[in-house]
Amino acid sequence: MTLIKIPRGWEISENLVTNETDFKNRRKFIKQLGVLGLSTALIGCMDNKQSLNAQSMPKTPFKSPSANLFPATRNEKYTVSREMTKEIVSSRYNNFYEFTTDKDRVWKLAKDYKTRPWTVEITGEVKNKGTFDIDTLLKKLPMEERIYRFRCVEAWAMTVPWTGIPMKELIKFAEPTTKAKYVRFESFNNPDEAPGQKGLSWYKWPYYEGITIEEANNELTLLGTGIYGKEMPMQHGAPIRLIIPWKYGFKSIKSIVKIEFTDEKPKTFWNDLAPKEYGFTANVNPKVPHPRWSQATERLIGSGERVPTKIYNGYEEFVKELYI
Ligand code: MTE
């Protein structure tokens, strides 16, 4: 069957991208911290100046053996009324400290990172333990496209079409035992290829995160494998990352190599570094200010518009039962 491809909104070429304004509190905060190691460590989770010039998207540099699985069919149940963030904006404004703390340089430093061969270890309290080749997993587990809001604790937000595997499908595949109460995720550790891991040595690499088994089983939780109808580019966490749209973005760990089901609450990267700033649960909540960012409003990257923050990032109907 021949498929006729109709270009989607974000695929239409763009000449102009609005510049972003800086958050002025960055330098002040670093001064206040006064501790060089910690201040430098925390810059990464802050909102740097973004200056995007008129540029067109580069051609996809690498096609994996799973490239033919994209674009996946869109599940219209998961959409939002907000305007989609342009690809050129979201793909050049990233948090990925393994490469750099400068949001606008991640894409450049990450673009040649090799994502094949890539394996994901599934371990802990599960029947189906093993180390699985990513392309085998992608073939085995169902993928779909969903439009989600995505909200960083730094109070910026975007709306993007992710492609991913519903986490509950991976859970079915892994067959957790009754002891599995939490899921712990781990990113790659490769300082020779990831300059942030080499240079920012005070971080506890590799990046690690965790959620409860109920959160992992929630229908919204995705293992992201693509964005804008294509394979995930490295700056967004290729080849597989977590996407939890009702939580602050730091929970959505990128470039996962290990998924462990445990009976103990796992430690998490940012919570270990600055427990007063980054909690384990980290649900989006306009009423709970972060010490450095009021969470009452959020800035939409691209347009720069500031809008009120929604409780659970607008996903209350899907998740409120989890927190009663
Ligand atoms: N995962 C890893 N491995 N390393 C990181 O530095 N940053 C987190 C999260 N996942 C991060 C990570 C933060 S703070 C945010 S806001 C999101 O990734 C950003 O995702 P994006 O760049 O795709 O928008």
Task: Classify residue 1: in a domain, yes or no.
Answer: no
Closest ligand 1 atom to the C-alpha of 236?
23
Please indicate, yes or no, whether residues 167 and 294 belong to a single structural domain of this protein.
yes
Please indicate, yes or no, whether residues 157 and 83 belong to a single structural domain of this protein.
yes
Give the CATH number, domain containing residue 168. Answer: 3.90.420.10
- 158-178 mean pLDDT: 98
Its pTM stands at 0.87
- In single-letter form, the type of residue at position 130 comes to G
Angle, helices 25-33 vs 36-43, to 10°: value is: 150
The answer to whether the CB of 268 is under 6 A from ligand 1 is no
The answer to whether the CB of 250 is under 6 A from ligand 1 is yes
Please indicate, yes or no, whether residues 187 and 108 belong to a single structural domain of this protein.
yes
Domain boundary among 8, 28, 56: 56
Task: Classify residue 240: in a domain, yes or no.
Answer: yes
Please indicate, yes or no, whether residues 31 and 82 belong to a single structural domain of this protein.
no
Over residues 282-320, the pLDDT tens digits come to 999 999 999 999 999 999 999 999 999 999 999 999 999
Task: Classify residue 227: in a domain, yes or no.
Answer: yes
Which of 89, 92, 96, 101 is the best mutation target for the ligand 1 pocket, counting ligand atoms within 8 Å of the beta carbon and taking the most? 96
Please indicate, yes or no, whether residues 115 and 228 belong to a single structural domain of this protein.
yes
Nearest CA to ligand 1 atom 16: 249
Task: Classify residue 128: in a domain, yes or no.
Answer: yes
Count Cβ neighbours within 10 Å for each residue of 226-255 and write b for 16 or more, e otherwise: bbbbebbbbbbbbbbbbbbbbbbbbbbbbb
Please indicate, yes or no, whether residues 280 and 150 belong to a single structural domain of this protein.
yes
Residue 150: per-residue pLDDT? 98
Nearest CA to ligand 1 atom 4: 96
Please indicate, yes or no, whether residues 137 and 159 belong to a single structural domain of this protein.
yes
Nearest CA to ligand 1 atom 19: 95
Q: Which of 14-28, 36-50, 256-270 has the highest mean pLDDT?
A: 256-270
Please indicate, yes or no, whether residues 160 and 30 belong to a single structural domain of this protein.
no
Residues in the chain: 324
- In single-letter form, the type of residue at position 102 comes to D
Instruction: Please say if the pLDDT value at position 122 is more than 90.
Output: yes
Residue 295: per-residue pLDDT? 97
Task: Classify residue 48: in a domain, yes or no.
Answer: yes
Domain boundary among 7, 35, 56: 56
Residue the block writes with tokens 């996809």: 60
Instruction: Please say if the pLDDT value at position 52 is more than 90.
Output: no
Please indicate, yes or no, whether residues 210 and 258 belong to a single structural domain of this protein.
yes
Task: Classify residue 8: in a domain, yes or no.
Answer: no
Please indicate, yes or no, whether residues 189 and 44 belong to a single structural domain of this protein.
no
Task: Classify residue 62: in a domain, yes or no.
Answer: no
The answer to whether the CB of 107 is under 6 A from ligand 1 is no
The answer to whether the CB of 236 is under 6 A from ligand 1 is yes
Task: Classify residue 4: in a domain, yes or no.
Answer: no
Expressed as residue numbers, the domain containing 26 is 18-56
Q: Give the number of domains in the chain.
A: 2
Please indicate, yes or no, whether residues 160 and 39 belong to a single structural domain of this protein.
no
HEC secondary structure over the chain: CCCCCCCCHHHCCCCCCCCCCCCCHHHHHHHHHCCHHHHHHHHCCCCCCCCCCCCCCCCCCCCCCCHHHCCCCECCCCCCCCCCCCHHHHCCCCCECCCECCHHHHHHHHCCCCCCCCEEEEEECECCCEEEEHHHHHHHCCCEEEEEEEECCCCEEEEEEEEEEEHHHHHHHHCECCCCCEEEEEECCCCCCCHHHHHCCCCCCCCEEEEEHHHHHCCCCEEEEEECCEECCHHHCCCCEEECCCECHHHCCCCEEEEEEECCCCCCHHHHHCCCCCCCCCECCCCCCCCCCCCCEEEECCCCCEEECCHHHHCHHHHHHHHC
Residue 46: per-residue pLDDT? 52
Instruction: Please say if the pLDDT value at position 228 is more than 70.
Output: yes
Instruction: Please say if the pLDDT value at position 72 is more than 60.
Output: yes
Over residues 253-269, the pLDDT tens digits come to 999 999 999 999 999 99
